[in-house]
Chains A and B, each alone.
Chain A
Amino acid sequence: MDERFDAIVVGSGPAGTTAALCMAREGLKVIVLERGEYPGSKNLFGGVMYTAILGKLVPKFWNEAPVERYVAKRRFNLLSETSSVSFEFSTKDFSDPPHNNSFIALRARFDRWYAQKAAEAGALLVPETDVIDVIRKDGKVVGVRTQRSEGDIYADVVIAADGANSLVAKKAGLRSDFSSDRFTTGIKEIIELPKEVISQRFGLEGNEGAAVTFGGYPSGILCGGFIYTNKDSLSVGVTTYLHSLVENKMQVSDLLETFKKHPMVKPLIEGGRAREYGAHLIPEAAYKGKMCDDGILVIGDAASLLNPSPIFLEGTNLAMASGMYAAQTIKAAKEKGDFSRRSLDLYPQLLEKSFVMQDVTKYGKIPEFVTKNPQFLTDYPDLLCQSAKELFTLDERPKAEKKALVRKIMTQNSSSLKVARDLYKAYRNLL
């Protein structure tokens, strides 16, 4: 390709599309390379699309974007083999747009729509194009090599927005932190059910949706389960640490099947028809690589910009924020005519000042924390269920005796002091 661009964006997920959209609106000449048949065709999440930034870029997007339901209910379940202890937050306070900027979505549909917005703004969107390497000149990144014939493309700057596996960031020498203790894998099924059945089962009205997460089952594995309500299907899946699967010699697809059979999960998905099965990596640990170098920036999952706290589970908003800051940085760099690392260093500075790096810094150690403290997933859910069962088992014993029993159950593997310390640790690290 003889044409030259201001910027090449590799990947058209939420991060890449946001960067392309913002740059195109500033009048920059942008090309977006997507390896899939269409944007979103390689993408998958739980999940919830967090849209605070999208709402600023595409006002009233909810009228046109293919979102499923907004999140009106969050339920956290801690499971034993036969019981569940839950915490739920439900509200009618988000029933008006923008619905707390939290929409359950399906990525193959959403990302396709969103990428079109960047194209409408003037970005050249080229699907079915895989980037196989970056092109360097005098040490600087000056373009990318694609598999197409005459497939070298040149630009002032390359944005690696190619997701959790980011081969672009790796090949450009910006990151090498791909180890199994830093990633979880998520696998999920789309299970079709009539809209009314979903609303009834989850206690929802209209376009209300539920984000339901599970911990503690199957026991012994560092994993979590989820169900998100789409309009007329459920996204049902598990996420788990790769090292935990290997250590327990547990096949990840068996993990999902076991989860689906739990007595508290089974009735929620009963009678549904599976429509799709998929998997994706989740870069949970804080990024150890470089955010930018001469002529290149890394954004979104490619830079592990994620909040893996089991309470929050955010990614799409961090992705869009990073895309926006990357675009601001490139605009400033273009005005100066300087795309060196020093000039592009504005990008990590903007991230640091925002919620993005503040949350990543706070929660990016969770993989290490959970691995060092497996009791939160392997012991406590079961102990809580046992305690609740003891408390609510009706017999002729006085309640004071029950309270003592609960204390005994909770401290059976340790001491009161250890439990109190664990509680504090969970509060500090996970919330």
Chain B
Amino acid sequence: MNIEDKLLLIRFNSDQSAHIKLNKDLCVDCEERGCLYVCPVNAYQIEGNEMTFDWSACLECGACRIVCSRGALNWEYPRGGFGVCFRYG
């Protein structure tokens, strides 16, 4: 099962603006790029040499926050009531 199909199983109440802010400039010469491996929904992608991040599919697990060694993330939770909403959990 691929991530796109899995995302269809999850209930989101997406906010208009990003709750995690990424300072892409710091990702350019990051060799580790741990975010690519630990994000359960592959929200981090490399396009060319640029890091992109799709916050709308975020499961709010915090794994990227923990592995980012560059301090490139301003990591906050979505506003109250927004974001992922587990029905089973």
List residues of chain A with CB under 8 Å of any chain B CB: 35-37, 40-45, 106-109, 111, 127-130, 132, 146-148, 164-165, 167, 178-180, 183, 185, 187, 189-190, 233, 242-243, 245-246, 249-253, 257, 274-281
Q: Known A130-B77, A178-B65, A277-B6; judge A107-B38 contact (CB<8 A).
A: no
Task: Tell me if B66 and A252 are in contact (CB < 8 A).
Answer: no
Task: Tell me if A128 and B84 are in contact (CB < 8 A).
Answer: no
Question: Which of A109, A146, A252 has a CB less than 8 Å from the CB of B37?
Answer: A252
Can you list 21 A-B pairs, Cβ within 8 angstroms, ordered by A?
A35-B77, A35-B78, A40-B86, A42-B83, A44-B89, A106-B88, A111-B89, A128-B80, A130-B79, A130-B80, A147-B79, A179-B66, A180-B66, A183-B63, A190-B88, A252-B38, A253-B6, A279-B41, A279-B63, A280-B61, A281-B63
Question: Which of A127, A147, A164, A275 has a CB less than 8 Å from the CB of B88?
Answer: A275
Q: How many residues of B contact A (CB 8 A)?
A: 38
CB contacts (< 8 Å) of B78 on chain A: these are 35, 130
Q: Does B28 contact A (CB under 8 A)?
A: no
CB contacts (< 8 Å) of A275 on chain B: these are 9, 88
Q: Give min CB distance, A109 to chain B, whole Å.
A: 7
Task: Tell me if A127 and B80 are in contact (CB < 8 A).
Answer: yes
CB contacts (< 8 Å) of A109 on chain B: these are 88-89
Question: Which of A44, A178, A252 has a CB less than 8 Å from the CB of B86?
Answer: A44
User: Number of contacts between A and B (CB, 8 Å)?
Assistant: 138
Task: Tell me if B77 and A164 are in contact (CB < 8 A).
Answer: no
**With A183-B63, A252-B39, A276-B9 already in contact, 5 other A-B pairs whose C-beta atoms are closer than 8 Å:** A35-B81, A111-B89, A185-B40, A274-B1, A278-B40
Q: B62-89 toward A: CB 8 Å interface, digit per residue (1/0)?
A: 1101110000000011111101111111
**Complex Cα distance A276/B60, Å?**
15
Task: Tell me if B87 and A253 are in contact (CB < 8 A).
Answer: no
Chain A residue with the shortest CB-CB distance to B39? A252
CB contacts (< 8 Å) of A130 on chain B: these are 77-80
Q: Does B3 contact A (CB under 8 A)?
A: yes
CB contacts (< 8 Å) of A242 on chain B: these are 34, 38, 63, 66-67
Which of A36, A164, A178, A180 lies at the interface centre, i.e. has the most chain B CB atoms within 10 A of its CB?
Answer: A36
Task: Tell me if A108 and B86 are in contact (CB < 8 A).
Answer: yes
Q: Does B26 contact A (CB under 8 A)?
A: no
Task: Tell me if B38 and A37 are in contact (CB < 8 A).
Answer: no
Chain B residue with the shortest CB-CB distance to A184? B63
**Complex Cα distance A253/B88, Å?**
19
Which of B10, B66, B79, B80 lies at the interface centre, i.e. has the most chain A CB atoms within 10 A of its CB?
Answer: B80
Which of B1, B13, B42 lies at the interface centre, i.e. has the most chain A CB atoms within 10 A of its CB?
Answer: B1
Chain B residue with the shortest CB-CB distance to A35? B80
Task: Tell me if B67 and A165 are in contact (CB < 8 A).
Answer: no
Task: Tell me if A281 and B88 are in contact (CB < 8 A).
Answer: no
Q: Give min CB distance, A91 to chain B, whole Å.
A: 27
Q: Does B22 contact A (CB under 8 A)?
A: no
CB contacts (< 8 Å) of B42 on chain A: these are 251, 253
**Complex Cα distance A93/B54, Å?**
50
Q: Does B32 contact A (CB under 8 A)?
A: yes
Question: Which of B13, B34, B66 has a CB less than 8 Å from the CB of A281?
Answer: B66
Task: Tell me if B34 and A246 are in contact (CB < 8 A).
Answer: yes
Task: Tell me if A164 and B62 are in contact (CB < 8 A).
Answer: yes
CB contacts (< 8 Å) of A106 on chain B: these are 88-89
Q: Give min CB distance, A48 to chain B, whole Å.
A: 14
Q: Does B59 contact A (CB under 8 A)?
A: yes
Chain A residue with the shortest CB-CB distance to B60? A42
Question: Which of B7, B39, B85, B88 has a CB less than 8 Å from the CB of A36?
Answer: B85
Q: Does B36 contact A (CB under 8 A)?
A: yes
**Complex Cα distance A40/B62, Å?**
17
Closest 10 CB pairs of A and B: A128-B81, A107-B89, A108-B89, A279-B40, A165-B62, A246-B34, A277-B6, A130-B80, A128-B80, A279-B61
CB contacts (< 8 Å) of B1 on chain A: these are 189, 257, 274
